[in-house]
Amino acid sequence: MTSTPLLRVDGLTKTFRMYHLDSMLHAFEGVSFDLHEGEFLLLRGHNGAGKSTLLRTIWRSYLPVGGHVWYRSNHGEIDLANAADVDIALLRREEIGFVTQFLNARPRVAAQDIVAEPLLLAGTSQAEALDQARHWLDQFGVRPELWRAYPSTFSGGEQQKVNLARALILPQKLLLLDEPTASLDVGARAALVRRLSDLKGQGVAIIGVFHHPGDVAQLITREINLNTRVVADQSEEEENVAL
Amino acid sequence: MSLSSLTKPWSATSYGFLDASAKRELRRKMLKAIAVPGCQMPYASREVPMARGWGTGGLQVTLTLVNPTSVVKVIDQGADDGVNAASIRRFISRVSGAGETWDTLAASIVQSRHRVPEEVMREDQILVLQVPNPEPLRGVEPNISIARQMHADADYGKLWLTLYEQIVRKGRIMQGAGYPSMVNGRHVMTPSPIPRWDVPKLNMAKHLTFLSAGREKRLFAVPPFTRVEPLVFSDRPYQVEHHADLTCRRSGVSGYFMNELPVDGGGSAFEVSDSNLGIKAIQQAEGAPVEIGKTWYRNGEFSA
Amino acid sequence: MSLDMSPAALTRAEPRLMRAEPLLTMRDISKTYGDVRALRHVDATVYPGEVMGIVGESGSGKSTLLRMMNLEDTPDHGDYTLRLPNRDDGNLFDLTRYERRMLCARHIGIVYQNPHLGLLMKHSSSGNVAERLLIAGERSFEVLRAKAREALDASEFPLSRMDARPIELSGGMQQRVQLAKAIALEPALLLLDEPTTGLDVSVQALVLDTLKRLQRDRKITMVLVSHDLGVIRTMADRVMVMRHGEVVEQGLADQVFQDPQHPYTQQLVHAKL
């Protein structure tokens, strides 16, 4: 390994303290791994192993109780585990994306506006943002007649397509995927894999949790099994040329 | 030395009716009012032999100003011969020895209800206006304490808002008498219920104006050569009543503020509101050697 | 683990990447009303362009804090600074009443839960907006009208009713008039005190959507007080949880709702779900 990693997770530990039950729930403990640009890391483990929790702890919607998450941002290196809220908010706006299976649809906002919003926030012009939004809605197989409709009325599958188009429209540096393929049809799944592959090729580092890792098998650089916390490096040789 | 040598002989009232301490207080408040143009000064309004609301504020100021060489003119809606005007004029004269007149040019003090004379007043004349309601903010802020604070902050947005509302609702500014006006760029005053026609006469006037409300116990002043600017929007000019083309049916003068009198069978007739101006015009027409002074309005146009 | 990982320590973490200075900084605000300690050593920091949510039950001090931000009240103790372009006012609580008023009129907008507090009910809606502009010295009728129209439009108020009196309008529309009034002068800070409480759920969603859109398009910094966690969750970037006049927890909105640290916050979040 010649370069410094984009992300270095070092002894990350998450425990939930539930006051009403007067108990502690240990999600995971002492997780460590490095992630470089252009790498795709798959989190494995059975239900409750803490896959999603790890993603959310890196994303900081969960507060870690121990360890570090060193991240090399465009603004400088920072420990996500100890960073101020506003720094996290800044990175979320500019560099780190999080894709869940749920669309945070707001009433009375059209699909294309929801998708275009990250671009608008990043300063893209209205026309350009809408153009791109329509492009990605099309790529993910949302029919043009739905572009102006309100996603809150869509089926789960269609909502998820809108969600993905929105989440992946901005090229991030680090992408966290929490079962994004759930409830997707075959076409959309293929579009997702294409987009992820593009992003990966552009040097985006990706950490993902998948129900069916087979969907993205050809993208996977490495895996971590949270049951055993062993980093399996079997596919490292073939994909590590991204830098 | 005896007590009688130290005191004045007994009399029914002090000179000018008010006692010396009342006049001293009024004088101080009047000086203050001059010092802060347009700012309302509270004073302890005294009892005078007249009901509150009938000009007691104006009367107290006049009684404070008056001396035996003064010549007093009192008008009520422009007329010298109204019962109230005549009674006040005679009363002032009786308690002070001042002269009485109907002629604006001859007067040193003009006490008035609701009008400013049409003839231009001079540096050596004082106008005393009787004010029923001195607070321009009364309509927008019933709480007096808050209104005082608004004056202190020069916070007059709500007055403009009232005008805005009038334009929105009626298409034009409906404010008639007592048009709120900014004095010396600082305090907004209500210039007593004089018509809009008269407000420009106070702007940069040569004479001193006192405005006094006896019932409300406040007085304020417009010193000579002080700006008095009606509140207007920059794109909605101030307009006076459309009296420029009216002619007085008795004196024949035109281009002055008129009283409108209904006539039998509908319609209106007009008489000049400044009655002494009308009288002088009639006398002039009859060949009498009377002088009509320069007027603020000429041919219906304000031109002072 | 030698590092202090308590939520308090995270709150204390200094921003390192964020280049912008905070717009609003409050330090050690305490206020007592009689025997009631309404605020105890409250700190608050709000960055430009973000939405800070303040949650807490009735009497938690959240509205008192908002009133302080609007300079309607001064604390017994504490500092308050706003970073406004080309001015340095120091501690705003040290300003005279007049300076405070003018500062608020020009730079801070507020929307109250009760429209009677924020609006002149018997003046026209456009007039209510125009009043703000009049305080700032605008004296052209046409400009007032145009700017009022623009602010009402941005608040998604139907312009055909711009001269209707608020008293003739529905609750949702009244809030839009308040909002138009608040944003008419493009304030640096928009304070929202339970802006949708008391509205029908559907109307509430529409008003929140308008706020969201304004925030996105105009990058207005907002402080939103609500006891409704749903409202805070949709609107806020960061959240302060208040109880008995103290801030018990603050953090990113999704973190506070998904992984609350303080027993009280857990109770609050669980009670909602």
Sequential DSSP letters for A187-209: HHHHHHHHHHHHHHHTT-EEEEE
Q: B155 vs chain C: nearest CA distance in angstroms?
A: 7
Cβ contacts (< 8 Å) between C135 and chain B: which residues?
A: 155, 157
B170 Cβ under 8 Å from any chain C Cβ: no
Q: Quick check: A61 contacting C, CB < 8 Å? A: yes
Residue B50: per-residue pLDDT: 92
State the pLDDT at residue C272. Answer: 61
* Chains A and B touching, counted as 3 or more CB pairs less than 8 Å apart: no
At A114-152, the pLDDT tens digits run 899 888 877 788 899 999 999 999 988 888 998 998 888
With contacts defined as CB-CB under 8 Å, which chain C residues touch B160? 134, 139
Q: B290: buried, middle or exposed (CB in 10 Å: 19+, 13-18, 0-12)?
A: middle
**Which residues make Cβ contacts (< 8 Å) with residue B106, sequence separation at least 6?**
B71, B73
Q: Does B264 touch chain C (CB under 8 A)?
A: no
What's the rounded Cα separation, in Å, for the pair C125 and B118? 42
Residue A8 has pLDDT above 80, yes or no: yes
pLDDT band at A231, cuts 50/70/90?
Answer: very low
pLDDT tens by residue, A60-92: 999 999 999 999 999 889 999 999 999 999 898
Return the percentage of chain B with pLDDT > 70, whole number. 100
Nearest chain C alpha carbon to A116: C216
Distance from CA of A177 to the nearest CA of C (A): 17
pLDDT, chain A, mean: 84
Average pLDDT over residues B196-217: 96
pLDDT exceeds cutoff 50 at B41: yes
Distance from CA of B180 to the nearest CA of C (A): 15
pLDDT number for residue A228: 60
Contact (Cβ atoms closer than 8 angstroms) between residue A103 and residue A161? no
Stretches where chain C sits below pLDDT 70 are 1-12, 272-273
| Per-residue pLDDT reduced to its tens digit, B112-126 | 999 999 999 999 999
Of B41 and A170, which is predicted with more confidence?
Answer: B41
Report the pLDDT averaged over residues A8-31: 87
User: Which residues, other chains included, contact B225 with Cβ-Cβ below 8 Å and sequence gap of 6+?
Assistant: B204, B205, B206
Handedness of CA C208, C210, C214, C216 (dihedral sign): positive
Q: Tell me the pLDDT band of B222, cut-offs 50, 70 and 90.
A: very high
Tens of pLDDT, residues A179-202? 888 778 888 888 889 889 999 999
Q: What is the mean pLDDT of chain B?
A: 94
Whether the CB of C144 is below 8 Å from some CB of chain B: the reply is: yes
Q: What is the mean pLDDT of residues B71-85?
A: 95
Check whether domain B20-136+178-230 has CATH 3.40.50.11310, yes or no: yes
* Spatial separation of the C-alpha atoms in residues C16 and A141, rounded to whole Å: 41
Determine the residue type at B211: L
Average pLDDT over residues A52-65: 92
A105–C contact, CB cutoff 8 A: no
Nearest chain B alpha carbon to C99: B153
**A16 interfaces chain C, CB cutoff of 8 Å:** yes
Question: What is the rounded distance in angstroms from the CA atom of residue B32 to the CA atom of residue C151?
Answer: 44
pLDDT in tens, C176-231: 999 999 999 999 999 999 999 888 888 888 899 899 888 888 889 999 999 999 89
Both tokens assigned to A234: 């079997």
Q: Where does chain B hold its CATH 3.40.50.11310 domain(s)? A: 20-136+178-230
Which is more confidently placed, B93 or B8?
Answer: B93
Q: Would you give the distance in Å from CA C245 to the centre of its chain?
A: 17
So what's the pLDDT on residue B30? 98
Average pLDDT score over residue span A108-118: 86
Q: What are chain C's domains? A: 19-119+189-272 (3.40.50.300)
In this structure, are strands A40-44 and A222-225 parallel, antiparallel, or unpaired? parallel
Q: In the structure encoding, which two tokens stand for residue C167, read together?
A: 């008293």
Q: Check if the beta carbon of residue C39 is closer than 8 Å to that of residue C247.
A: no
Model pTM? 0.86
Residue type, B53: G
The predicted pLDDT at position C46 comes to: 96
pLDDT above 90 coverage of chain B, percent: 89
Q: Apex CA A210: angle with CA A209 and CA A216, to 5°?
A: 110
Tell me what pLDDT residue A107 has: 66
A159 versus C161: which is more confidently predicted? C161
